[in-house]
Amino acid sequence: MADTGKTAKLTLDDKTVELPVLSPTAGPDVIDIRKLYAQAGVFTYDPGYTSTASCASSITYIDGDKGELLHRGYPIDQLAEKSHFLEVCYLLLYGELPTAEELEDFESRVTHHTMIHEQMHNFFRGFRRDAHPMATMVGVVGAMSAFYHDSTDINDPWQREVASIRLIAKMPTIAAMAYKYSIGQPDIYPRNDLDYSSNFLRMCFAVPAEEYEVNPILSRAMDRILMLHADHEQNASTSTVRLASSSGANPFACIAAGIACLWGPAHGGANQACLEMLREIGTVDRIPEYIKRAKDKSDPFRLMGFGHRVYKNFDPRAKVMKQSADEVLELLGIENNETLKVAKELERIALEDEYFIEKKLYPNVDFYSGIILDAMGFPTSMFTPIFAVARTVGWVSQWKEMIADPEMKIGRPRQLYTGYTRRDYVDVENR
Ligand code: CMC
């Protein structure tokens, strides 16, 4: 981040303060307000951080107007076409694409950390048998801090590295176990001869009573879903992880906080909510009714899988996801899927509607992902856990970047207080 030499002047009553303007490598300039309170005695007010950069980061860049997403400079569509999830993990974590040897070493390290401590199986048994897999994941990932003491010291770079690999490696195992537990089936242990996505599919769908062959088409589609969700700069769950970690808390507790935040329907829970909405719409003739509801201010209904805080143009991930949905359904011989028909027609109608055009609402990554996951055989309750599996590398990369940043401080927002000013206590008999 370079100092542009420019300043922004803020005049308040008879006082003017000059604030430095910083220049990023891409995107709009940033006014540095860190000394604003000391110089002018005022705070800024920005609920939802709509105009506030909460940190400096060199991992992911989004140009919301162009609909562009870059990881370490590489466009997501190129990565989705040419790369694979673990290579993208390496890129996000270490900043560069790996050489063949570096990739082999990284894949081996991740593969050899996929098993969880055997005692953790008992921990799962404490949950209600039909618990939502996200509920189980929040608890189990937080509990990792009780099982992996040797990688909780955030001041030790080696422990940070081990914790990062453990989280990326174990998250699919934990998500699959949460699923198996919720449907009353035995856990399937990971297998080191399978790649990351195939291993995850096997842990979700195999049973000990019979052989399970991973379908390579589904494995590739899963890998692409993971890649498309891997990181998305300072979104709500990533910011949650950063804020939680800023106090010095251990990485497992902080990633559990990220999972909790991801669960909400405005964020990672949107993929589940979107497929449920498409199913509720059911047939294309009912679409206008739902479009009408989405536009009605007195109705809380929103088109799930539509709109984004940053993208005011197509979400580039949604384009790849739509293409993937077509491919997967065709390859599985279910291209006449009614839900896909509803999704495509809903997208077409919404994109021609004045309300959606004016508000720049486009399909986001979650609009088509549910259709693919459903075709693969996942229940809707597993959609958000799969998002969590994918986003773990983003959370971990952003966490590592933050801990290593010399400007890191505990996150402590200020407020615009609207409550009572000082008043005296009234004894109960006089109230
Ligand atoms: N359907 C109908 N109207 C909408 C929608 C929608 N999906 N999204 C936004 N709007 C309207 C909203 O009512 C508001 O109208 P007005 O200006 O008249 O008050 C305007 O568009 C701006 O919306 P906002 O809520 O102020 O925008 P935001 O940036 O705070 O919210 C969002 C972004 C993603 C939470 C929101 O678009 C939304 O709720 N979408 C549906 C949920 C969803 O698909 N979430 C997944 C996001 S992508 C995956 C991820 O990152 O987790």
The pair of structure tokens assigned to 321 is 């996801």
Closest CA to 349 of 276, 294, 424: 294
Residue 71 is a catalytic residue = no
Ligand 1, from 361, 362, 384, 386: best to mutate by most atoms within 8 Å of Cβ? 361
Q: What is the number of the ligand 1 atom nearest to the C-alpha of 274?
A: 44
CA pair distance 318, 45, nearest whole angstrom:
32
CA of 115 to the centre of ligand 1 (A): 39
Selected catalytic residue, list 132, 308, 315, 374: 308
CA of 305 to the centre of ligand 1 (A): 9
Would you state the pLDDT for residue 334? 80
Spell out the per-residue pLDDT of the chain, length 431, in tens. Answer: 777 789 999 999 989 999 999 999 999 999 999 999 999 999 999 999 999 999 999 999 999 999 999 999 999 999 999 999 999 999 999 999 999 999 999 999 999 999 999 999 999 999 999 899 999 999 999 999 999 999 999 999 999 999 999 999 999 999 999 999 999 999 999 999 999 999 999 999 999 999 999 999 899 999 999 999 999 999 999 999 999 999 999 999 999 999 999 999 999 988 989 999 999 999 999 999 999 999 999 999 999 999 998 998 889 999 899 888 888 888 888 877 888 889 989 999 999 999 999 999 999 988 889 889 998 999 999 999 999 999 999 999 999 999 999 989 999 999 999 999 999 999 999 99
| Residue 58: alpha-carbon gap to chain centroid | 17
Would you state the pLDDT for residue 361? 93
Residue with CA at minimum distance from ligand 1 atom 28: 309
Would you state the pLDDT for residue 190? 97
The pair of structure tokens assigned to 390 is 């994918």
Would you state the pLDDT for residue 205? 97
HSE-up (13 A, CA, CB side) for residue 219: 13
- Do 136 and 181 contact (CB within 8 A), yes or no? yes
Q: Which residue has the tokens 């991740």?
A: 110
Positive or negative CA dihedral for 225, 230, 235, 240?
A: positive
The pair of structure tokens assigned to 45 is 């007010």
CA pair distance 204, 84, nearest whole angstrom:
20
Which three-class secondary structure string do you get for the chain? CEEEEEEEEEEECCEEEEEEEEECCCCCCEECCCCHHHHHCCCCCCHHHCCCCCCCCCCEEEECCCCEEEECCEEHHHHHHHCCHHHHHHHHHHCCCCCHHHHHHHHHHHHCCCCCCCCHHHHHCCCCCCCCHHHHHHHHHHHHHHHCHHHCCCCCHHHHHHHHHHHHHHHHHHHHHHHHHHCCCCCCCCCCCCCHHHHHHHHHHCCCCCCCCCCHHHHHHHHHHHHHCCCCCCCHHHHHHHHHHCCCCCHHHHHHHHHHHHCCCCCCCHHHHHHHHHHHHCCHHHHHHHHHHHHCCCCCCCCCCECCCCCCCCCHHHHHHHHHHHHHHHHCCCCCCHHHHHHHHHHHHHHHCHHHHHCCCCECCHHHHHHHHHHHCCCHHHHHHHHHHHHHHHHHHHHHHHHHCCCCCCCCCCCCCCCCCCCCCCCHHHC
CA of 266 to the centre of ligand 1 (A): 8
Burial of residue 231, with CB atoms counted within 10 A of its CB: 0-12 exposed, 13-18 middle, 19 or more buried: buried
Selected catalytic residue, list 223, 231, 315, 366: 366
CA of 355 to the centre of ligand 1 (A): 12
Would you state the pLDDT for residue 50? 95
Q: Please, which residues have CB within 8 angstroms of residue 13's CB and are 6 or more apart in sequence? A: none
Ligand 1, from 281, 364, 395: best to mutate by most atoms within 8 Å of Cβ? 364
- Do 291 and 342 contact (CB within 8 A), yes or no? no
Provide the whole-model pTM: 0.93
CA pair distance 191, 198, nearest whole angstrom:
9
Q: Is the backbone of residue 331 left (phi > 0), alpha (psi -120 to 50) or beta?
A: alpha
- Do 84 and 227 contact (CB within 8 A), yes or no? yes
CA of 156 to the centre of ligand 1 (A): 40
Would you state the pLDDT for residue 47? 95
Ligand 1, from 267, 306, 391: best to mutate by most atoms within 8 Å of Cβ? 306
Residue 308 is a catalytic residue = yes
CB atoms within 10 A of CB 429: 5
CA pair distance 356, 350, nearest whole angstrom:
6
Using CB distances shorter than 6 Å, the residues near ligand 1 are 232, 235, 266-268, 270, 294, 302-309, 359, 361, 364-366
